[in-house]
């Protein structure tokens, strides 16, 4: 099919043949992809049919994105095969994928803000000649737009469009270029609720015209609203595959998070609630977010000394913002923040750190370390006042080294102290940050995904360090996606969904199922405070 | 792993890096000279003769060498006025303007406090020059820190304002009895002392001292650590509690102060008076040198020296080879392009 001849496909024939017993349009067999520390895809089989919406459901890190990147030619699979309409195919690059009729809608759009909608689309098309006939492109846009409710103003600059409109442009781009299989990577993440409904309607329209749609998501409601076929990934494997008719909320959640209950070990709380001041208190705090960030809404939270409060949630639901808010990177648009019993709305990050706030961010390379500086320099960075001598003219490197070695010994970690941070593996980088932040008796620890990238032994050491800090009277805000970890460590558990606290639990009165239910936005709020 | 093993490994790594860098620079220099040689050949000159002339005129005599130092001094200072802000990720294109404002304020001091002795007047002029430059740099630095405007553009635009301000004062109030475009000669107390009967003056010492100070602070001090962190990863620096905005404003002002010092040095040393449009782009030359040496103090020294040799020697080429002075600009431009393009065969492993 040459793309110049593309027009909306005629509906009848393809829709008819897509059901029961028909040949899949695209099939993956035994696709396997291994990254240095993780088996991202483990023998995945997947069949995509024309005229169907196929939902690919799973937590972050379940392997959805890797699988789709293999399909779109960004990664090469280590093993496995692909077949299009029964013929084996090789996809080495996104260009190959496009030739075969695959189109991918990325989470971050690839439009050029300064160009108009028509110009952006013309850029993407292969068949536009050296002289761009924008009128012709506009006519083609209109043909598709009218058919699939994707109306956009073709001569308006992209910078003037809302995110929802930009997404329409992205979809049009794929349609005009002749894609028959559309891969949508978490398309509703950036959309307002009414835009979500509109998008789902667009997808239904495309389905009835014979397009195959792969919808990557972790929102169960959307899956149940429009999918025909559902494949659930967990830990890089297919955890379940079913037709819409066989699926319900309960089944999907069980599949997504695993049926097994986390092994809960109870320990008595070290400090009782009579302690006068919480180390952290947020009173009805809301923040204002820009771009794709999540804004926090009406957050009420108090952490007392000697307490670990776990934050459950699928990443991107406000966890990063919550950590940054407490640290002081972003300020409260509404509400009040207290640290160690004192108002802290205008406290600088340095002051907060001097007061004893430790911060282990979700991304140690981007948010915590300076790549070309050595491990020792990176460790000195958090408390330069502690090591400055002669008013700052020199630094006491022996003291920095002593602190670092003491921290490493306590955790039983090993690190090359003089290697630049950028040469460290992800695990070592995480170890560096943990040693730095937990080293000197913090009073409030903001820890995100502490054990990410660590081997079992190191992970246990990190968790033990958090428990030790709790025993010493520190408050801990523990953000994690690992429910097992949250259940094992937390004294209380809150669930974040779209920037809101949708559940507050004591771990012993709930289970992974109930928490997972709230994490995916599938239920009303639950509250059992303190 | 013991400290000793760690240290030797570290030293070996450092030595290898320095050797790599030296080799890379040498290759790039040879490439530039080779290309310029082709241009000379095409215009019917013998490139070897031309290069020999440059060397003889600059390094072949005491006078020639002293002239190289005279040309190098303001380049060194202005290069540092760019290199320092570049370490925290700020691009200070406004050195030219900051230099004019420094010269302007220093001149005001020289013309106002004529009765002061040199030991009081010169430090005062240094201070005034630095204040003038810092004030001019505060504007872009502050606007950047509050997230309004990029410092690159604002500092560049202010460059066309500053010479007009200077001209306003010269033509309006300060011009001497004979000329309208310059002040009267400064009193001798307002002149920087020179050495050995050459035109080399005290500002060379300022420049070298600044260079050492810059290197020391970046390498050993607490502020150097914090600045390197900001330059390396501003997001991480912020989350580690380093006051990013204060540094942005402060370092931009400090860069401006250094540029102002260069302005003071020029009027008090080289010229001995304030002349309208006196600089002829020394601020931009400093910008170029700083980026050619990637903000490294030793690199700044070497590149400034090299550029001074080329420009000083270039003057002579007009006489001996009958080449226009613009020919030297071609050589400088070639060197710049080669360093910035960093051809793959000299780039080395990352």
Q: Taking residues A290-314, what's their average pLDDT?
A: 86
Asked if this assembly's ipTM is beyond 0.95, the reply is no
Q: Same domain for A401 and A421? A: yes
Domain annotation covers residue A362: no
Choose the final residue of a domain: A440, A468, A496: A440
Domain annotation covers residue B259: yes
Q: Which domain holds residue A41?
A: 12-101+180-260
Domain annotation covers residue A334: yes
Q: Same domain for A55 and A189? A: yes
Do β-strands A212-217 and A334-339 pair in parallel, antiparallel, or remain unpaired? unpaired
A367 and B236: CB-CB below 8 Å?
Answer: yes
| Cα atoms in the 13 Å half-sphere on the side-chain side of B53 | 20
Flag whether residue B246 sits within 8 Å of chain A, measured between CB atoms: no
What is the model's pLDDT at position A219? 79
B110: closest CA among B122, B102, B99, B100?
Answer: B122
- CA of A393: which chain B residue's CA is closest? B221
Residue A259 has pLDDT above 70, yes or no: no
Distance, in Å, from the CA atom of B91 to the CA atom of B141, rounded to the nearest integer, reads: 10
Which of B3, B6, B225 comes nearest A381 by C-beta?
B225
What is the model's pLDDT at position A255? 82
**What CATH number is attached to the domain comprising A201?**
3.40.50.300
Which residues in chain A have Cβ-Cβ distances shorter than 8 Å to B236?
Answer: 366-370, 381
Cβ–Cβ < 8 Å for A418, A394: no
Domain annotation covers residue A484: yes
For B104-148, the pLDDT digits (tens) are 999 999 999 988 998 999 999 999 999 999 999 999 999 999 888
Flag whether residue B213 sits within 8 Å of chain A, measured between CB atoms: no
Q: Same domain for A162 and A198? A: no
Flag whether residue B222 sits within 8 Å of chain A, measured between CB atoms: yes
Domain annotation covers residue B22: no
Flag whether residue B38 sits within 8 Å of chain A, measured between CB atoms: no
Q: Same domain for A419 and A483? A: no
Is the pTM for the entire model greater than 0.80?
A: no
What is the model's pLDDT at position A527? 59
Flag whether residue B226 sits within 8 Å of chain A, measured between CB atoms: yes
Q: Give the residues across from A48 on adjacent strands.
A: A26
Coil vs helix vs strand at B186: coil
Q: Same domain for A511 and A466? A: yes
Q: Taking residues A341-353, what's their average pLDDT?
A: 88
Domain annotation covers residue B275: yes
For A463-487, the pLDDT digits (tens) are 888 888 888 888 999 998 778 788 8
Domain annotation covers residue A275: no
Task: Give the total number of structural domains in chain B.
Answer: 1
Distance, in Å, from the CA atom of B239 to the CA atom of A272, rounded to the nearest integer, reads: 31
B240 and A382: CB-CB below 8 Å?
Answer: yes
Give the CA radius of gyration of chain A. 26
B222 and A348: CB-CB below 8 Å?
Answer: no
Domain annotation covers residue A268: no
Q: Which domain holds residue B187?
A: 72-295
Domain annotation covers residue B307: no
Flag whether residue A419 sits within 8 Å of chain B, measured between CB atoms: no
Cβ–Cβ < 8 Å for A285, A337: yes
The CA distances from residue A363 to A283, A323, A429, A451, A498, in Å, are: 27, 12, 10, 12, 20
| Cα atoms in the 13 Å half-sphere on the side-chain side of B279 | 32
Which of B10, B225, B235 comes nearest A380 by C-beta?
B225
Domain annotation covers residue A7: no
Q: Same domain for A447 and A499? A: yes
- CA of B229: which chain A residue's CA is closest? A370
- CA of A377: which chain B residue's CA is closest? B225
Per the structure block, which two tokens stand in for B141? 């630095």
Domain annotation covers residue B61: no
Q: Taking residues A36-63, what's their average pLDDT?
A: 85
Q: Same domain for A448 and A434? A: no
Flag whether residue A430 sits within 8 Å of chain B, measured between CB atoms: no
The CA distances from residue A45 to A241, A275, B15, in Å, are: 10, 55, 53
B220 and A395: CB-CB below 8 Å?
Answer: yes
Q: Same domain for A44 and A185? A: yes
Domain annotation covers residue B260: yes
Task: Give the total number of structural domains in chain A.
Answer: 4
Q: Same domain for A424 and A457? A: no
Residue A203 has pLDDT above 50, yes or no: yes
Domain annotation covers residue B29: no
Q: Same domain for A133 and A253? A: no
Choose the final residue of a domain: A178, A208, A232: A178
Confidence of residue B230 (pLDDT cuts 50, 70, 90): very high
For A387-427, the pLDDT digits (tens) are 888 888 889 999 999 999 998 988 888 888 888 888 887 77
**CB neighbours of residue B306 within 10 Å:** 19
| Cα atoms in the 13 Å half-sphere on the side-chain side of B245 | 11
For A279-292, the pLDDT digits (tens) are 998 988 898 887 66
What is the model's pLDDT at position A311? 92
Q: Same domain for A407 and A469? A: no
Choose the final residue of a domain: A416, A440, A464: A440
A359 and B223: CB-CB below 8 Å?
Answer: no
A349 and B241: CB-CB below 8 Å?
Answer: yes
Highest mean pLDDT among A191-200, A243-252, B320-329: A243-252
For A113-166, the pLDDT digits (tens) are 888 888 888 888 877 777 778 888 888 888 888 888 888 888 888 888 877 888
B233 and A370: CB-CB below 8 Å?
Answer: yes
Distance from CA of B208 to the nearest CA of A (A): 19
Q: Give the residues across from A55 on adjacent strands.
A: A215, A230
A444: closest CA among A316, A337, A352, A366?
Answer: A352
Confidence of residue B349 (pLDDT cuts 50, 70, 90): very low
Residue B260 has pLDDT above 50, yes or no: yes
Domain annotation covers residue A361: no
Confidence of residue B263 (pLDDT cuts 50, 70, 90): very high
Domain annotation covers residue A466: yes
Q: Same domain for A297 and A344? A: yes
Q: Which of the 8 DSSP states describes residue B275?
A: B
Domain annotation covers residue B303: no
**For residue A21, what are the contacts with CB-CB under 8 A and spacing of at least 6?**
none
- CA of A397: which chain B residue's CA is closest? B220
Distance from CA of B245 to the nearest CA of A (A): 11
């Amino acid at each position: 099919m040459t793309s110049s001849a593309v027009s909306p496909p005629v509906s009848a024939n393809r829709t008819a043949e897509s059901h029961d017993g028909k040949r899949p349009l695209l099939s993956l067999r035994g696709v396997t992809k291994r990254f240095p520390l993780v088996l991202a895809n483990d023998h995945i089989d997947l069949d995509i049919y024309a005229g169907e919406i196929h939902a690919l459901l799973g937590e972050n890190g379940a392997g959805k994105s890797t699988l789709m990147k293999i399909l779109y030619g960004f990664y090469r699979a280590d093993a496995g095969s692909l077949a299009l309409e029964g013929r084996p195919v090789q996809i080495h690059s996104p260009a190959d994928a496009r030739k075969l009729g695959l189109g991918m809608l990325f989470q971050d759009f690839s439009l050029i803000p300064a160009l108009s909608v028509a110009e952006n689309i013309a850029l993407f098309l292969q068949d536009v000649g050296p002289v761009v006939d924008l009128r012709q492109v506009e006519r083609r846009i209109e043909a598709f737009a009218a058919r699939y409710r994707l109306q956009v103003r073709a001569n308006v600059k992209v910078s003037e469009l809302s995110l929802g409109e930009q997404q329409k442009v992205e979809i049009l781009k794929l349609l005009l270029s002749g894609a028959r299989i559309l891969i949508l990577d978490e398309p509703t993440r950036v959309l307002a609720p009414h835009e979500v409904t509109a998008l789902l309607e667009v997808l239904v329209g495309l389905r009835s015209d014979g397009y195959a749609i792969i919808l990557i998501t972790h929102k169960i409601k959307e899956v149940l609203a429009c999918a025909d076929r559902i494949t659930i990934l967990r830990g890089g494997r297919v955890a379940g595959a079913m037709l819409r008719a066989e699926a319900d909320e309960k089944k999907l959640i069980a599949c997504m998070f695993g049926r097994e209950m986390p092994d809960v070990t109870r320990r008595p709380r070290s400090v009782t609630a009579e302690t006068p001041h919480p180390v952290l208190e947020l009173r009805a705090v809301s923040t204002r977010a820009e771009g794709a960030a999540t804004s926090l809404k009406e957050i009420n939270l108090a952490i007392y000394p000697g307490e670990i409060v776990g934050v459950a949630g699928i990443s991107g639901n406000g966890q990063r913002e919550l950590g940054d808010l407490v640290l002081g990177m972003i300020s409260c648009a509404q509400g009040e923040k207290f640290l160690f019993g004192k108002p802290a709305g205008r406290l600088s990050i340095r002051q907060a750190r001097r007061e004893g706030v430790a911060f282990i961010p979700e991304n140690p390379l981007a948010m915590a370390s300076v790549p070309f500086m050595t491990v020792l320099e990176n460790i000195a960075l958090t408390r330069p006042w502690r090591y400055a001598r002669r008013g700052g003219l020199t630094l006491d490197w022996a003291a920095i080294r002593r602190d670092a070695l003491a921290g490493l010994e306590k955790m039983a970690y090993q690190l090359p102290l003089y290697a630049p941070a950028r040469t460290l593996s992800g695990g070592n980088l995480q170890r560096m940050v943990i040693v730095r932040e937990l080293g000197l008796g913090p009073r409030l620890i903001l820890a995100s995904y502490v054990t990410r990238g660590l081997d079992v032994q190191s992970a246990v050491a990190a968790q033990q360090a958090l428990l030790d800090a709790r025993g010493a009277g520190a408050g801990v805000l523990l953000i994690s996606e690992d429910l097992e970890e949250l259940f094992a460590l937390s004294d209380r558990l809150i669930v974040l969904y779209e920037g809101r606290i949708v559940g507050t639990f004591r771990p012993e009165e709930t289970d992974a199922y109930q928490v997972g239910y709230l994490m995916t936005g599938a239920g009303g709020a639950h509250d059992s405070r303190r | 792993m013991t400290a000793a093993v760690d240290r030797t490994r570290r030293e070996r790594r450092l030595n290898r890096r320095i050797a790599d860098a030296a080799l890379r620079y040498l290759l790039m220099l040879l490439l530039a000279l080779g290309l310029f040689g082709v241009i000379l050949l095409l215009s019917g000159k013998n490139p070897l003769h031309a290069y020999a002339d440059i060397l003889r005129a600059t390094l072949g005599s005491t006078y020639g060498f002293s002239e190289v130092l005279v040309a190098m001094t303001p380049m060194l200072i202005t290069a540092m006025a760019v290199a320092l802000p570049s370490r925290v990720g700020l691009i200070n294109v406004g050195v030219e303007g900051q230099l004019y404002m420094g010269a302007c304020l220093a001149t005001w001091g020289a013309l106002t406090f004529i009765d002061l002795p040199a030991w009081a007047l010169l430090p005062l002029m240094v201070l005034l020059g630095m204040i003038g430059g810092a004030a001019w740099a505060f504007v872009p630095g502050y606007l950047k820190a509050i997230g309004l405007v990029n410092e690159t553009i604002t500092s560049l635009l202010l460059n066309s304002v500053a010479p007009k301000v200077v001209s306003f004062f010269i033509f309006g109030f300060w011009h001497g009895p004979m000329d309208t475009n310059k002040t009267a000669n400064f009193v001798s107390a307002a002149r920087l002392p020179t050495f050995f009967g050459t035109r080399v003056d005290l500002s060379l010492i300022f420049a070298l001292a600044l260079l050492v100070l810059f290197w020391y602070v970046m390498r050993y001090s607490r502020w150097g650590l914090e600045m390197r962190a900001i330059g390396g990863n501003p997001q991480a620096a912020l989350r580690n509690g380093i006051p990013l905005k204060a540094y942005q404003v402060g370092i931009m002002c400090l860069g401006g102060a250094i540029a102002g010092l260069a302005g003071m040095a020029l009027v008090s040393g080289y010229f001995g008076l304030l002349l309208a449009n006196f600089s002829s782009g020394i601020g931009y030359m400093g910008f170029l040198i700083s980026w050619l040496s990637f903000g490294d103090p030793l690199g700044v020294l070497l590149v400034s020296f090299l550029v001074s040799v080329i420009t000083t020697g270039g003057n002579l080429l007009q006489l001996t080879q009958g080449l226009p002075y613009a020919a030297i600009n071609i050589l400088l431009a070639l060197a710049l392009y080669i360093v910035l393009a960093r051809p793959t065969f000299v780039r080395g492993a990352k």
